[in-house]
Structure 1
Amino acid sequence: MTPRSILVVTDFSELGGHALARAALLGAEHRAALQLVYVAQPGEVPPPDVAVRLSQHALQLRQRHQIAVQAVARVDCTVADIARAAAAHDLVVWGTAPQRGLRAWWGAHPALQLLRACQRPVVVVRNAADQSYHSLLVAVDFSQASHRLVELGLALHPRARVELFHAISTANEGKLRYAEVSERAIQIYREQCRRHAQDRMFTLTDSYDARRNRLSSSIGRGDPARQVLVAQQSAGADLIVVGKHPASPWVDWLFESVAQRILREARTDVLVAPHGFQAASRGTAVKRLATDLPVRRVKAGAPRPPSHPNPAALWGGA
């Protein structure tokens, strides 16, 4: 999905300035129109010159990058206001100062709150934007949504180096030990998981054979969120791309999602895409969405199933 319209959320903090710069780079690269909107931190009173400052930023970005930039005059103070504005855009670039105190630990990141209200990918900006992203790490779980996630990263940054990463969960190993399964059986199960993941990763990367010169893959083992962060540091990626399964606020609060943990702990920019995300543009966007899913090369006959069945399913895991 190539963005044609980008909503930029800022609170005039340092990160808000980084978000403006990042959105401008994306807008210049894809010739996308920008709309700037202000959001206040919870409990804070917006400055009286919000409209003037937004207009000044819009003028500067318009002159510097030769792109269409519009400032929203009204003050959007809630995530619900931002969600209504985001419905008319393909991508949201979020730049606000980090939350502090108990709100940072017990409340969901505002970007995740936005995902529940609208099906739009959100780039949460953490670092200064002086050049386009050169390296992306895409966290995949081999579901159909992973294909669209990879396509989103490839379309957003056509010249970037992309690494696909999957973390093999060890949750079922604890269940096996609790059931007093032998260590030998656990080792066999672990090897089956590794082979299954390698097989699925090969199938996924094979779908993008034309882009193989800038596409790589790796597999980790352990807690998915932690392993993604370790892989990002190892690869030196300046953007993490992760999907977000639909869940209620209570579920996210009780069982912190991988996306939420990555947003809380990552020191680099993060692109979070809800499963089933959509483009805002009508007409041609419908055709574009229909072709977002990659067509896998089939050398002969029907697509072959993985040669190694999912061992987690055989053991009753997810």
Structure 2
Amino acid sequence: MQKTGKLRQGAGERLCNKKVYKMKILLAAVDLQKGSEQVIERAAMLAVELKARLHLVHVIDEAMVLYEPMVEISVRRRLQQGAVQALEQLVSSLPSEQRAHIEPHVILGKPSQALAHKAIEIGADLIIAGPQHQEPVQELFLGTTVERLLRHCTMPVLVVNGSGPQPYRQLVAATDFSRSSHHALRAGLALAPQARVSLVHVFEPPVLLGFLRQENVHPDSMMAHQRTRIEQEVREEMSHFIAEDEHHRIDTRIVSGEVKKAITAVVEESQAQLLVLGYHGRQGISRLLVGNLAMSFLSAPPCDVLVAR
């Protein structure tokens, strides 16, 4: 990430095409497995905080009802009735002020396709899901499903990892100044309007340090000069990247090292409840936020994770 000479290019374009997230229609994917209560609690809390409508959606995998026609109808009906009752029971355990914002749905289909179709149908601004289950047959709401949602849906995806029922008060947003990371920051600010934000840029030390030592070049001096130059350019870019009315709640951090380890360290140090990532990195400048890194965080999230395209 040390190539920063062109970081300023495109800043005006990003500001002119600023994406606005309203977060007024939320879709929570509920698989009725362990952890579903945490997903519903977080989604219901966000709906109240954001004055949004919450749709709880359970997808019955169509692969579970591939039987003879008459048997299939009977099994499907029992599965649907059981899912409706389970959703109603989960909703009934919520405070009354949260229940008023909720509309449950039970649908049949392939999980990723059914969720994407429902999200588009209701005009969802955000999809909320739970962490990955280990059983392959239950891998409904992360892994291939969430990855497909991120590839094919324009709305951000929030993966809940049991951060507790408290509102988001501290979030970490990683940036490489790509359009995707900018969208992720905007989504995070909209999702957690009261939170403090640590905006993190990671640069990796030059790979030629070992060679320079052999050539009697002083790598420490070169790194200090390189870091000073990068920090100056990064801060200048951040002044364009962040809207003026948001400066008061955002602090910027510039760190060096391996990207995932550096971001994880900032999350742990700041005790963040939410990590915000872009799904695509800036071509030719950085591979900070490509899908592989985003998905690696989702496979073992250090806290709740919000990913935007």
TM-score (norm 1): 0.71
Matched, 1:29 2:63: no
Q: Identify if the C-alpha distance between structure 1 residues 178 and 162 changes in structure 2 by more than 3 Å, giving closer, same or farther.
A: same
Question: What SS does the aligned partner of 1:72 have?
Answer: strand
Q: Deviations over 1:39-75 (max 9, x none)?
A: 4689878983012222343455583425431111324
Candidates 218, 222, 227, aligned match of 1:188: 222
Matched, 1:231 2:266: yes
Matched, 1:10 2:30: yes
Whole-angstrom CA distance in 2 between matches of 1:218 and 1:182: 32
Aligned-partner residue type, residue 92 of structure 1: I
Q: Counterpart in 1 of 2:251? A: 216
Matched, 1:134 2:154: no
Q: Identify if the C-alpha distance between structure 1 residues 160 and 109 changes in structure 2 by more than 3 Å, giving closer, same or farther.
A: farther
Q: Counterpart in 2 of 1:257? A: 292
Specify which structure has the bigger relative contact order, considering alpha-carbon pairs within 8 angstroms and separated by 6 or more residues.
2
Q: Identify if the C-alpha distance between structure 1 residues 189 and 144 changes in structure 2 by more than 3 Å, giving closer, same or farther.
A: farther
Matched, 1:53 2:109: no
Q: Identify if the C-alpha distance between structure 1 residues 181 and 51 changes in structure 2 by more than 3 Å, giving closer, same or farther.
A: farther
Q: Deviations over 1:150-202 (max 9, x none)?
A: 222112111111110111123xx225646976643685256324532443235
Candidates 94, 106, 114, aligned match of 1:73: 106
Question: 1:137: how far off?
Answer: 0.2
Question: What SS does the aligned partner of 1:213 have?
Answer: helix
Q: Counterpart in 1 of 2:156? A: 121
Aligned-partner residue type, residue 57 of structure 1: L
Q: Identify if the C-alpha distance between structure 1 residues 139 and 69 changes in structure 2 by more than 3 Å, giving closer, same or farther.
A: same
Q: Identify if the C-alpha distance between structure 1 residues 166 and 203 changes in structure 2 by more than 3 Å, giving closer, same or farther.
A: same
Q: Identify if the C-alpha distance between structure 1 residues 73 and 98 changes in structure 2 by more than 3 Å, giving closer, same or farther.
A: closer
Q: Counterpart in 1 of 2:12? A: none
TM-score (norm 2): 0.73
Question: 1:109: how far off?
Answer: 5.3
Question: What SS does the aligned partner of 1:54 have?
Answer: helix
Question: 1:245: how far off?
Answer: 1.1
Whole-angstrom CA distance in 2 between matches of 1:211 and 1:156: 14
Deviates more, 1:205-214 or 1:74-83: 205-214
Q: Counterpart in 2 of 1:111? A: 146
Conserved? CA contact 1:15–1:97, under 8 Å = no
How many residue pairs are counted as aligned between the two chains?
Answer: 263
Q: Deviations over 1:92-145 (max 9, x none)?
A: 0102543358x99xx945322211121110110001431211100000112344
Whole-angstrom CA distance in 2 between matches of 1:117 and 1:62: 34
Question: What SS does the aligned partner of 1:22 have?
Answer: helix
Candidates 63, 74, 90, aligned match of 2:96: 63
Whole-angstrom CA distance in 1 between matches of 2:306 and 2:126: 10
Matched, 1:84 2:117: yes
Question: 1:264: how far off?
Answer: 2.0
Unaligned runs of 5+ in 1: 247-254, 275-318
Whole-angstrom CA distance in 1 between matches of 2:35 and 2:232: 38
Question: What SS does the aligned partner of 1:13 have?
Answer: coil
Deviates more, 1:90-99 or 1:33-42: 33-42
Whole-angstrom CA distance in 2 between matches of 1:128 and 1:37: 21
Whole-angstrom CA distance in 2 between matches of 1:139 and 1:42: 38
Q: Identify if the C-alpha distance between structure 1 residues 65 and 243 changes in structure 2 by more than 3 Å, giving closer, same or farther.
A: same
Whole-angstrom CA distance in 1 between matches of 2:190 and 2:178: 19
Candidates 195, 204, 207, aligned match of 1:174: 207
Question: What SS does the aligned partner of 2:168 have?
Answer: coil
Conserved? CA contact 1:51–1:74, under 8 Å = no
Question: What SS does the aligned partner of 1:73 have?
Answer: strand
Conserved? CA contact 2:200–2:254, under 8 Å = yes
Unaligned runs of 5+ in 2: 1-20, 66-75, 282-289
Q: Identify if the C-alpha distance between structure 1 residues 260 and 99 changes in structure 2 by more than 3 Å, giving closer, same or farther.
A: same
